[in-house]
Structure 1
């Protein structure tokens, strides 16, 4: 391991875990848990930086752009994971939030040797999805130096897209080529260099915060309920009915009937009940309110 890599926080040895191999099972678990508790506090310190990323993403989507995660290995998998959860949670089209991983989709389950070491592949993958200046690209690399991510961020800035670097080291290389950087410093890993642990947890937390907060700002949530949930299976249908019941006070059968009249759209069903409007009228007002239920209610009940 070169001196440059050794100097990274994510590669530093953790003094607290140097004897982990002689601890009993419960002691190992306690140590890992104690270290994990440091992650949320590290994320807390960079909330202002995360806010900037959320603003970039929200504006991109409002203007017709997309959120694109780019990473390699664990970082890439976390980006893909967050992306694929957006359609069922918020009824977004699959192309709106995308996750690109070095080596392509097959790299999600099996490492593709050497793919992360080429900057040109990061650029190539963004070219293939026709990146535009309306998009936001978030490059994810625990080390902050992955060539694949560097290439992607450089290309994003070249085309005018917003480029955000997410890493777990100070003054990361990817931070230098981005419009904005988020550096979550959670400290050395329990297993030296195993960034699937604290660094991975930190990245997962940040990505969850970015996508969830952006979707809230875009009207995908009413109160704290997923009113844009996509009904694609029995469990999600039951959840949708439960959400309607929570807001409206209807019985299960009444909520299901309302959901059917609303073309299986939870948000529309709720607004139909609150406003007394039919489906087409409710949809029109929701569109005028840009999907925000509270704003639609205000429009339907002018003073």
Structure 2
């Protein structure tokens, strides 16, 4: 059936609340259902935009902490969807920016197996959070980024509380205001997406906002740490043929050389894009002398 009551882009309230207007969602025709779900996602971008000042402060603090020590780590923490989104952001930093794997850690409720198979009960285990902190030896050099849509997940709240006591810089993202997770962190990122079209399904608007915020946070941190040169990902790891072609085009664009020269320089520099750029530019300067 067609539903005449089109959803507004923003419906305030707790992420677990059930908005009356979507009470009969399963009876709507497919077109209206998809439109409602899309409109529900539309709040995510606005929610992130509202946090830009808080994100800026978090980026500044995280960049300073990570730059202070060659052993400082980015530590991602969460449970369920939030934990999986956190891990996804972290694992991309190696191939994209050359961030060392040994400077990364993941504290996931239920362990690494929860990435492929949900371990929903694990989110209540505060003792497991403390064991995970002990196992990874989280300390003052580290930056902990913790996510929970509800802002009340015991595992994640415990990670933030104990990581802060250990001296780590703590950044928390949640989709509900005035929650323990946000209160416990030095940098609180409130992604206020409100109720979900499908009640309680926080993998929707809440999860989308978390993904956007994580993208902004980690990318801005990597830029701040010098991982970008002339708008390019010069520390990217060209680990396959597609990425080698991308790297060669990057070198050619930055230096003005042809792609054959760029490819030869990339090979000569052991697939180090930054070194290859300097190599080409050094040859060019030498030829002009």
**Correspondence 1:32-181 to 2 at 5 A:** 32-64=37-69, 65-181=72-188
Alpha-carbon offset, residue 98 of structure 1:
2.8
1:23 to 15, 19, 28: 28
Question: Of the candidates 204, 215, 222, which is equivalent to residue 222 of structure 2?
Answer: 215
Structural RMSD (CA)? 1.8
Displacement, 1:56? 2.3
Say if 1:168 and 1:184, in contact at 8 Å, map to a contact too: yes
Identify which of structures 1 and 2 has the higher relative contact order when contacts are C-alpha pairs closer than 8 Å and 6+ apart. Answer: 2
Q: Establish whether residue 184 from structure 1 lines up as the match of residue 163 from structure 2.
A: no
CA distance in 2 between counterparts of 1:121 and 1:244 reads: 46
Distance across 1 between alignment mates of 2:215 and 2:109: 21
Give 3-state SS (helix, strand or coil) of 1:182's partner: strand
CA displacement 1:171-201 (0-9 Å, x = unmatched): 1111122112111101210100000000000
Q: Distance in 2 between matches of 1:165 and 1:248?
A: 40
| TM-aligned CA deviation for residue 249 of structure 1 | 2.5
Query: After the TM superposition, which of the residue ranges 154-163 and 108-117 deviates more from structure 2?
Result: 108-117
Contact 1:75 1:200 in 2 (8 A): yes
Counterparts in 2 of 1:167 and 1:118: CA distance versus 1, 3 Å: same
The separation in 2 between residues aligned to 1:16 and 1:254, in whole angstroms, is 61
Contact (CA 8 Å) 2:230, 2:254: kept in 1 or not?
no
Whether the aligned pair in 2 keeps the contact of 1:60 and 1:66 (CA below 8 Å) is: no
The whole-number CA distance in structure 1 between the counterparts of 2:284 and 2:108 is 45
Q: Which residue of 1 aligns with 2:8?
A: none
For 1:16 and 1:87, the matched residues in 2 are separated by 44
Compute the TM-score of the two structures, normalised by the length of structure 2.
Answer: 0.89
CA distance in structure 1 between the aligned counterparts of 2:221 and 2:284, rounded to whole angstroms: 28
SS of the residue 1:188 aligns to = coil
Match of residue 254 from structure 1: 261
Which structure 2 residue ranges, 5 or more long, are not aligned?
A: 1-11
The 3 A distance-change label for structure 1 pair 120 and 259 is: same
Where does structure 1 lack aligned partners over 5 or more consecutive residues? Answer: 1-6, 279-303
Judge which range, 196-205 or 90-99, deviates more: 90-99
Shift of 1:256: 0.5
- Contact kept, 8 Å, 1:140 with 1:149, in 2: the verdict is yes
The structure-2 alpha-carbon separation of the partners of 1:159 and 1:73, relative to structure 1 and needing over 3 Å to count, comes to: same
- Matched residues in 2 for 1:251 and 1:274: separation? 12
Asked if the contact 1:57–1:66 (Cα under 8 Å) also holds between the matched residues in 2, the reply is no
**Could you tell me how far 1:221 is from its partner in structure 2?**
1.0
Secondary structure of the corresponding residue to residue 101 of structure 2? coil
How many residues of Structure 1 are paired with residues of Structure 2 in the alignment? Answer: 272
Do the aligned partners of 1:175 and 1:181 also contact (CA within 8 Å) in 2? yes
- Residue 199 of structure 1 is matched in structure 2 by 206
Alpha-carbon distance in 2 for matches of 1:81, 1:191: 24
TM-score of the superposition, structure 1-length normalised? 0.85
